[in-house]
């Protein structure tokens, strides 16, 4: 059980740090987008790479931040089955959801994402726009990072669920605005 606790702490900690870093990337999206607008509309200047840069930052926030969002319970879930459930029932629902839905889907996406990245890397793919961002394969690799971080958080959720089923209520999933159910 100590190994499961270690996995939960390590993965939660990793995705918490990723979330903290990405909060600054969100600010970068706003700043770069603002600069693009100011340069275009007030100075009549435009840079394709700069326009693509804020799209890249935006993609990074959503793809790389998905594990953090999963960790804090920000993804959609079917509350019909979950909200009123006991901690043990939630643990069973989480285990079932990870095994039947999350991991099979992640395996398919990860396989496709890796092939997508690999083909892009092999040809040194860059933006199709003149003056655009180089190394488009970096952006495509973020799909692989997405799968890794969400998969790791899924493993942490499964470990958390096993701990709850073994009687450790401290690891029970709590929904936003919900009192402790111990």
**Residue 151 phi/psi, 5° resolution?**
-65, -45
Confidence band of 182 (pLDDT split at 50, 70, 90): very low
Quick one: pLDDT band at residue 175, thresholds 50, 70, 90? low
Q: How far apart are CA 120 and CA 2, in angstroms?
A: 42
User: What distance in Å separates the CA atoms of residue 177 and residue 93, rounded to the nearest whole number?
Assistant: 20
- Asked if residues 8 and 149 have their Cβ atoms less than 8 Å apart, the reply is no
* Residue labelled with tokens 């100011």: 38
DSSP characters over 122-144:
HTT---SSTT--S-HHHHHHHHH
Give 72-101 pLDDT, tens digit per residue. 887 777 677 777 888 899 999 999 999 999
What pLDDT, on the 0 to 100 scale, is given for residue 79?
Answer: 72
Q: What is the DSSP string of 4-58?
A: HHHHHHHHHHHHHHHHHHHHHHHHHHHHHHHHHHHHHHHH----HHHHHHHHHHH
What pLDDT score was predicted for residue 1?
77
Q: What is the tens place of the pLDDT at every residue in 95-153?
A: 999 999 999 999 999 999 999 999 999 999 999 899 989 999 999 999 999 999 999 99
Give the count of beta carbons closer than 10 Å to the beta carbon of residue 133. Answer: 18
The pLDDT confidence band at residue 181, using thresholds 50, 70 and 90, is very low
Q: What is the mean pLDDT of the chain?
A: 90
Q: Dump strand ranges (E) for 54-130.
A: none
Is residue 179 pLDDT above 60, yes or no? no
> pLDDT tens digit string along 44-55?
998 999 999 988
User: Left, alpha or beta for 121 (phi > 0: left; psi -120 to 50: alpha)?
Assistant: alpha
């Amino acid at each position: 059980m100590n190994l499961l606790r270690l996995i939960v702490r390590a993965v939660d900690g990793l995705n918490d740090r990723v979330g903290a870093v990405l909060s600054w990337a969100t600010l970068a999206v706003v700043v770069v987008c603002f600069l693009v607008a100011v340069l275009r509309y007030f100075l009549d200047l435009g840079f394709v790479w700069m326009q693509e840069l804020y799209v890249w930052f935006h993609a990074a926030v959503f793809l790389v931040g998905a594990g953090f969002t999963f960790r804090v319970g920000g993804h959609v879930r079917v509350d019909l089955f979950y909200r009123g459930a006991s901690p043990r029932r939630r643990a069973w629902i989480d285990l079932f959801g990870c095994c039947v839905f999350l991991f099979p889907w992640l395996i398919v996406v990860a396989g496709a994402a890796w092939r997508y990245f690999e083909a892009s890397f092999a040809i040194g793919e860059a933006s199709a726009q003149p003056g655009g961002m180089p190394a488009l394969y970096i952006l495509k690799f973020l799909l692989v990072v997405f799968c890794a971080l969400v998969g790791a958080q899924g493993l942490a959720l499964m470990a958390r669920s096993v701990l709850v089923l073994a009687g450790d209520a401290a690891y029970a999933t709590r929904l936003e605005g919900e009192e402790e159910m111990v």
